[in-house]
Amino acid sequence: MESFRQEGRWSLLAVVCLAVTVRCAVTAMFPSLQQQLDQQVEFSTPMTSYKSLREGLFLLRHGLPVYSGGVVHQPPLLLSVFSRVPNCCHRYLYAVADGVVACQLMLVSRALFSRTPGQRRVPTWVVGLLFALNPLALLSCVSQSTVSLTNVALSSCVYCAVVLRNTWLSGVALAFASYLNVYNAVLAIPLFNAFNGARREVCLFTSVFALCLALLLLLSGSQGNGGAFDGSFLQATYGAMIRFESVAPNLGLWWYFFIEMFQEFIPFFKGVFNVFHVGVTPAIAWRFRGQPLYSFVISLLWLTLTKPYPTLGDTALCFAYLPLFAPLFGYLKYPLFSTLLFLHGVMLSPIFYHLWIDLGSGNSNFFYAVSLVYALALGSIIADFVWAMLRMEYDGGSPNYKRRLTQI
Amino acid sequence: MALSCFLRSVSGTNIDVNEYDLVNSAMQDDADDVIVTGSCKTNFTAQSTTEAVASPSATRNVEENTVADAHTVEDVQFQDFVEETMLVLDELKYPYQEDLRLKPLPGNHLLSSFSFDMKSESFTPGKTDLDIDQYSHYTVFPKPFKPLLERTATRQLHLRFTRGFWDAESWDTLPYDGFKSGGSGVELWAIIESDSQENAYRQWKSLANSLSGLFCASINFIDSTKTTYPVYAFHPAASEELPLFDQDKQLYLIRAALANEPVCTENLTPLIKLLPTKGKSGLSSYLDGHKVFDSIWHSLSIDIETQCDDLYGECRYSMEAMVDMVINVPNTIERVENPIPKPVEADKLRCDQTKHFDAFVCFPSSDNAETDFLFSKIFGKSIRGCDNFASSPSRVCANITDDWSFTLKVGDDYLGLDSNCFELNEGVEYDINLSSANTSSVTVLDEVPLYVSRSLTGYGQDHGGLRTVFHNPRSQPVRAIYFETLPWFMRVYLSTLQVDNTHSNGSPNVTVEDIMQSMHYVPAIDRSRPTHLEYIIEIPAFTSFAVSYQYDKTLLQFAEYPPDANHGFEIESAVITVVSPTDYQIRTATLLLSLSTPDFSMPYNVIIITSTVMGLIFGMIFNLLVKRVVTVEEADKVLAERTIKAKLLRLKQKILSRIGIAT
């Protein structure tokens, strides 16, 4: 057991180092890659792009109002943290952030498998390596989209809740995640499952989360104007996201729908899409209340699918958790179909975007079609994993792949 | 109208007939007729009779400039006469002045600048026309403006209609140092008195809507997405005092521009109608829409200012209307002479001597060195002098070198003066003749203090760059205010602002900090505010560099695209005001921004397909979440119970058991 720990420690260190080094190396070898990726709609959105972060820093540095325009959507504390780091060092910050995620993933994986011995498992180092070398995660990190930072907060949240079982820390981590992207607050519901229904813990978690988030918002509001609360950032960061103000093409379902929607119905459908985005999470959390990590990951996948501004960076984090559900793999009905669908979407999207935007030989429908394929791919992955979990629950721990089951 | 025509005819008589009292009294009779008919035409006939008598006395069979002295002597005599005998009539002259300035430009171009100045009657601020004790009377000042200015509390109004290309590299400085011409399209700025910016904007919007109706232009398309509040640029000179009628209020400078708005006769006609002569007499009779807009570059401008006398507490509006145009003389004449283009006849064909030519091959020489033309040929009309009600006579001046001759044609006589400036004070038909043996010899004005050009960079339809090249050709550093407004769908990243002078030879390296002294930046808000960027820039001597920054293009909603979305979106020109060493204003060309477009035929398809995909995914997952997991055999059993047949069977059994028949 001790040697296993020892071995695990070395492999953990190696994978984290590899993750950080690969990211630094890619940035150093292709200096223009960052800008190139920052323009790619798959990796950066108006809400998360590094360009708008830089613009926020510029405005902050020159004493201009940061949130009066429609360009900066990053929350104030993030800007003030970045303003204290020289521009040339930002890339290392992102690389370290991804390293932390890799490390936490491996720790979560080890804790999970040590709790359920005898199950089919993927080696810890493989879990880490799959994230470290996942091209989506890698490129998202190189593009320096702030999604990477949200990912750290989310992964810390999982780590604290599942491995450390620390109510306080997971509440704080989720507060940070929600501070960066307000929709992440919904993930509190699947996290309740981590406390095995202990009412006291749930209350504590909720209050720590709420207090911490309130504190962050207060701090951001009173920052830089002598203690008086200035709520202008709320509109620019969260309001703009919820109201889907800057319509930019991305892999999500929202953008083309709202471009083509008739003016009068736009507010109504924005409401519908928001409900669609957050409304399914409680159902998932309730149905899989015995599986805290699983319900969390499936909720995260759902959020990624229905986000107003999704990126491949979000997807990369969700996919990083999938190897942890190795016992479910045998139950998947159509993994090949989902994989191919996903690859099809991811590979065609830059091509079709190029055809539409740069060459003009395709039109917006090309990219729209790919975004639908991508959505279907994520949808089929979610559905397949949900089915697999239902199937495993039915089997109660002793897999019987031959049993023919259905639902009524 | 009747009143002004009466005055016109009386004073016309007064000017023309200095010695002939008999005629004078006869003219008075004629003038009485004029009051009845109220038409300028009658007036002409009356005056031409006068002219018939008067012209022999003046002996104006002029060859070149020899008659100048006689003319001035006559003017002096006439002045004396007016002071002695016609004092009452002299007071009835109105503050109106019109000028025409001509300047040949290189390449056989000709700049004609018409300017019309007028002042309103004085009025007491704070009293509107509705006040019972307010007496208002419109004379030469156009009637539509006063109520408009009062309603919107506008203290200064500047309106520009400009189209065309001013070739600064060969034509040098713009007329009036560029302060009277706008960017391509329509430009409007005003100083409005109001208690808050919101109210000022409301007044501004009302002003724009009214002007839109007045000038038949789309000025009503000015809204908050085009309106800016300039901070450095467009401010009136410090020497100008702006009146504040209500001391609790403030003055707001508001500006907007409509890029590449077509400027056409429908804008010129209302402008001419604002003049007291209405295009029927005086210099404005030259202005014909077909000819003005046939030019390479043309600019119509209107500036209204409020001037107050603190001593008496009275104010008056003064208005300057200008029409400037650059025409290519040979082309214009060619078009008049040969409406259907024909090949040049062999004996008139001049070949380019620098290239090979023989009996069969001839490259036509591009420029005529000689020219001789009458303006009536270019403008299609001649001047009908009939604005004698004005306090100063119409003037026609030419800014020419000795190679040119500038003469005034009165009847069949040609007049010339050393000063190249004529005062038209007779009610006859005038025409202008300009001739030269060497058209390339033109008066040299100051070189343009600064060249600025702006362009869009990048190729994709999702992002790009804006690059402004400054070039200072002079030996002194130039200080200028750069003003730029960009629409909200260009998401500007000012953090990418950089100065690049690697491509200019020999220029010293400059950094952003060196050249930009203060900056005012208001970022855009989607659908409600444009980007507004102003900075003061100092360009060292003999230096050129480019200032560039990046922007992202956003997508618009389906209904926000114009009908010709693939044509692109007009970006208004940047305004550069040079403040030292000289005062000068330049505008860059407008830009055409192409945005990516959605498929406009897709709304129903997109709504249906997206909803289907969402419904499909949601349905799949919802089904999985709520349904019970059972084996296939169990499911079959349960389903078998649910069929109608099974239900009927169950019902039958129930009924049978009720009535006691056991099965």
B604 CA: distance to closest CA in chain A (Å)? 8
Position B85 confidence tier, pLDDT thresholds 50, 70, 90 = very low
CA A398 to chain B, closest CA, distance in angstroms equals 16
> What's the pLDDT score for residue B613?
96
Q: Does A251 touch chain B (CB under 8 A)?
A: no
Cβ-Cβ contacts under 8 Å between A and B: the total is 176
* pLDDT tens per residue, range B537-570: 999 888 889 999 999 999 999 889 988 888 889 9
Tens digits of residue pLDDT in B134-187: 566 778 888 889 889 989 999 999 999 999 999 888 888 899 999 999 999 999
How far is Cα B288 from Cα B281, in angstroms, rounded to an integer?
13
- pLDDT over threshold 70, residue B505: no
Q: Could you tell me if B138 lies within 8 Å of chain A, comparing CB atoms? A: no
Give the tokens for residue B90: 């002299």
The alpha carbon of A101 is separated from its chain's Cα centroid by a whole number of angstroms, namely: 11
The answer to whether B618 contacts chain A (CB < 8 Å) is yes
Q: Is B599 on the interface with A (CB under 8 A)?
A: yes
Residue B526 has pLDDT above 60, yes or no: yes
Q: What do you get for the CA distance between the two ends of chain A, in Å?
A: 45
Q: Do B606 and A257 touch (CB under 8 A)?
A: yes
Given this model, what pLDDT does residue B357 score?
82
Judge contact between B50 and B34, C-beta under 8 A.
Answer: no
Residues in chain A: 408
Q: How do strand B629-631 and strand B451-457 relate by DSSP bridges?
A: unpaired
Tens digit of each residue's pLDDT (9 = 90 or more) over A63-91: 888 898 889 999 999 999 999 999 889 99
Compare CB distances from B555 to A259, A262, A386 and report the shortest one's residue. Answer: A259
**Residue B38: per-residue pLDDT:** 31
Q: Which of A39, A256, A392 to mutate to test the interface with B (most CBs of B within 10 A)?
A: A256
Least confident of B26-40, B153-167, B433-447, B478-492: B26-40
Find the CB nearest A406 among B494, B519, B635.
B635
Count of other CB atoms within 10 angstroms of residue A227: 8
Q: Which of B225, B461, B494 to mutate to test the interface with A (most CBs of A within 10 A)?
A: B494
What's the pLDDT score for residue A227? Answer: 62
Mean pLDDT (whole number) for A258-269:
94
Tell me, what's the pLDDT at A120? Answer: 79
Across A138-142, A272-276, B492-496, B511-515, least confident range: B511-515
Beta-carbon contacts of residue A205 (< 8 Å; ≥ 6 apart):
A167, A170, A171, A188, A191, A192, A195
Average pLDDT, integer, range B466-471: 93
Higher pLDDT, A87 or B8: A87
Tell me the fold of B451-596.
Immunoglobulin-like (2.60.40)
Q: Mean pLDDT in chain A?
A: 91
pLDDT at A387: 94
Q: What is the amino acid identity at position A170?
A: S
What pLDDT is recorded for position B29? 38
What's the pLDDT at A281? 94
Over residues A313-320, the mean pLDDT reads: 96
Smallest CA–CA distance from A256 into chain B, residue: B606
Across B279-288, B337-346, B456-465, least confident range = B337-346
Residues of A whose CB is below 8 A from B557: 247, 258-259, 261, 263, 266
Residues 365-394 of A with CB under 8 A from B: 365, 368, 372, 375-376, 379, 382-383, 386-387, 390-391, 393-394
Q: Per-residue pLDDT averaged across B311-317, rounded?
A: 82
Tell me the chain B residues in contact with residue A387 when contact means C-beta distances shorter than 8 Å.
624
Residue of B nearest to A354 (CA): B460
- Our CA dihedral for A35, A36, A41, A46, rounded to 10 degrees, sits at 10
pLDDT value at B39 more than 80 = no
Mean pLDDT of B112-129: 83
Mean pLDDT for all residues in chain B? 81
- pLDDT of A300 > 60? The answer is yes
Instruction: Tell me the mean pLDDT in the region B421-439.
Output: 85
**Region B214-240 average pLDDT:** 90
The verdict on ipTM greater than 0.90 is: yes
Between CA B208 and CA B196 the distance in angstroms is 18
**pLDDT top residue among B140 and B74:** B140
- Contact: A257, B607; criterion CB under 8 Å: yes
Searching chain A, which residue's CA lies closest to the CA of residue B518? A62
- Quick one: pLDDT band at residue B427, thresholds 50, 70, 90? confident
Confidence of residue B40 (pLDDT cuts 50, 70, 90): very low
Would you place residue B334 in the very low, low, confident or very high pLDDT band (cuts 50, 70, 90)? Answer: confident
Place of tokens 């996290």: A191
pLDDT of B222 higher than 70: yes
pLDDT class for B53, splitting at 50, 70, 90?
A: very low
Nearest to residue B485, comparing CAs of B560, B587, B567, B597? B587
Chain B residue with minimum CA distance to A265: B607
A406 touches chain B (CB under 8 A): yes
**Distance, CA of A136 to chain centre:** 12
Give the pLDDT of residue B392.
83
Residue of higher predicted confidence among A297 and B89: A297
> B569 forms bridges with which residues in the sheet?
B593
Contacts of A15 (CB under 8 A, 6+ apart): A102, A103, A106, A125, A128, A129, A132
Point out the residue among A52, A246, A407 whose CB comes nearest to the CB of B623. A407
pLDDT beyond 60 at B19:
no
Cβ-Cβ contacts under 8 Å for B52 (sequence gap 6 or more): none
* Å between B458 CA and nearest CA of chain A: 10
Average pLDDT value for residue range B122-144: 73
Model confidence at B131: pLDDT above 90: no
**pLDDT the model gives residue B34:** 32
Per-residue pLDDT, averaged over B582-597, amounts to 92
- The reported pLDDT for the residue numbered A7 is 64
CA nearest B379: which of B332, B318, B444, B434? B332
Could you tell me how many helices (H) and strands (E) chain B has, helices first?
16, 26
- A318 pLDDT tier (thresholds 50, 70, 90): very high
* pLDDT tops 90 at residue A317: yes
State the Cα–Cα distance between residues B166 and B175, nearest whole angstrom: 10
pLDDT value at B223 more than 90: yes
Q: Which residues between 567 and 596 in chain B have a beta carbon less than 8 angstroms from any beta carbon of chain A? A: 596
Q: Which amino acid appears at position A406 of this protein?
A: T
Q: Nearest CA of chain A to the CA of B100: how many Å?
A: 47
* Confidence (pLDDT) at B9: 33
Per-residue pLDDT, A6: 62
CA distance A407 to chain B (A): 5
For residue A248, give how far its alpha carbon lies from the nearest alpha carbon of chain B (Å). Answer: 6
pLDDT at B127: 67
pLDDT value for B47: 36
Nearest to A103 by CA among A150, A140, A156, A58: A156
Dist. CA B425–CA B392, nearest whole Å: 9
